[in-house]
Structure 1
Amino acid sequence: MLRNVAAAKSQLLTPDEYFSDFWPYFSGLERVFWKLETHQSYREPEEPSWQALDAGDWGEAIRLIDERRQEIQRPLREAGEFAMRRVRLVERPFSRYVQWELYYIRLRALAGEQIRVLEADRLPALGFSRPLPELVVLDSTVMYEVLYSEDGTLTGARKILDRSLIESCGDDMEKLFGQGVELIPYMTAERDVLPPPVRHSATF
């Protein structure tokens, strides 16, 4: 279960070790890739659109996302037959990062990633306490708790191989996913979540 992740036996990885370790597992995926995102802000200094966001230039941030549509969607088109599912927790008022990220990952949703948004204030009624861990789960084989500094910078990951725990966390994520709202309808209904340049005129 998600509440047991912190106490699980794990191997601590640096960011480079995490990425190197991740890809062989990803290439062997057969059933499902899960991602649980819980933080409301991250730093992505290698991403030009995020750089524009950080500089306060919303128009350029949006332009750069739209310009990279094919590149952003390519991993979905090239993926195998497994499902890719993401639960994105959000809090109100929406952070600038969340506004930016949802606009970015809508391209992944349009290419086939199953993304649902869940408002964090619903967690207690669903039987979950906060904070929830940031998780990446590949089948029942491996789970990573992704770690960040206070300013949202990636610091590494905890690699967990306890199959029973991985499967129970998968069950929890299924529950959260089932209570979420599909990304595109959510963005259409919640106009305030859209970045300022597209808030009143976006079509998806």
Structure 2
Amino acid sequence: MHDLLDGLMGERMELDDYYADFEKNFWGITDLGFWKLERQQVFKEPDYDSWLAFAKGDWDEALRILEAGRADMENYHRRVEEHGFIAARVRVVEEPISSYLQWELHALRVRDQCGGSVRIVGPEQITRFEENGPLPEIYTLGSKVMYQAIYNDECVLESAVKYVDSTLIKRCQRFIQHLYEVGEPLKQYFPRRVALLPPPGPQ
């Protein structure tokens, strides 16, 4: 565990409990907003139709499904705006871009265009923070709750760890926000580094 978490131990949650807890706490955000840091370069998302199409090598279908979800994404971020908080994320991107990340950046582009701001940072911007290992996959919900995503050996989401220490949460929120402020907006990065990549093959 990276020392960004200061060695603190949170509450391990199984997925069903985590999903319900996240939903309740997300829509209860009253300060600081939602800030997410994504570090790993490869995931598997077997519950997501677009990812399944991508994994099978049907790139056109994967992108079609992402576009088909645009209206729902717009409604989601309109609801976030109505609740009065920001939902922003930082995506670490190592090059050459992995096939998974190529797909995810297309998904994030839709999110970004619908109001969920995304910025990109490279390894050179986080190296000094990773002396003790990779940064954790974390996301803060206001100043009261933070989750760390836990993945199994197959890179599939397995569980989550919940933290409620406000000092830790505020420190991690400031850290993610700092990376966001020095990061490149996805709308600038995407046309330069992603749009012209050839379709990935089956995974």
- Distance of 2:119 and 2:138 partners within structure 1: 15
Quickly say closer, same or farther: Cα 1:73–1:35, change in 2 above 3 A: same
How many Å separate the matches in 2 of 1:20 and 1:169?
23
Q: CA deviation at 1:111?
A: 1.6
CA distance in 1, matches of 2:106, 2:175: 26
Match of 2:16 in 1: 16
Q: Which amino acid aligns with 2:12?
A: L
The residue number in structure 1 matching 2:66 is 65
Report the Cα offset of residue 3 of structure 1: 2.1
Q: CA RMSD in A?
A: 1.6
Aligned to 1:35: 36
CA distance in 2, matches of 1:164, 1:66: 39
Q: How many residues align?
A: 193
The match for 1:108 is 111
**TM-score, L = length of structure 1:** 0.88
1:149 lines up with 2:152 in the alignment:
yes
- The Cα of 1:176 is off from its aligned counterpart by 1.0
> Residue 164 of structure 1 aligns to which amino acid in structure 2?
T
1:180 aligns with 2:183: yes
CA–CA distance in structure 2, aligned partners of residues 22 and 68 of structure 1: 21
Report the counterpart of residue 128 of structure 1 in structure 2: 129
List gaps (5 residues or longer) in structure 1: 198-204
Q: Indicate the SS of the match to 2:129.
A: coil
Look up the SS of the partner of 1:196 in the other structure: coil
Give deviations 1:99-119, integer Å, cap 9, x for gaps: 111111111111211210111
Deviation at 1:6, TM superposition (A): 6.5
Matched residue, 2:198: 196
- Counterpart of 2:154, as a letter, is D
Structure 2: gaps (5+ residues): none
What is the letter of the counterpart of residue 143 of structure 1?
M
Identity of aligned residues (%): 35
* Matched residue type, 2:148: E
Q: Deviations over 1:134-156 (max 9, x none)?
A: 00110110111110012210111
Residues in 2 aligned to 1:92 and 1:6: alpha-carbon distance in whole angstroms: 29
Matched residues in 1 for 2:62 and 2:4: separation? 38
Report if the CA contact (8 A) 2:35-2:177 is conserved.
Answer: no
Displacement of 1:87? 0.4
What is the CA distance between 1:164 and its match in structure 2?
A: 0.5
Distance, in Å, in 2 between the alignment partners of 1:18 and 1:147 is: 11
Give, in whole Å, the separation in 2 of the partners of 1:101 and 1:58.
12
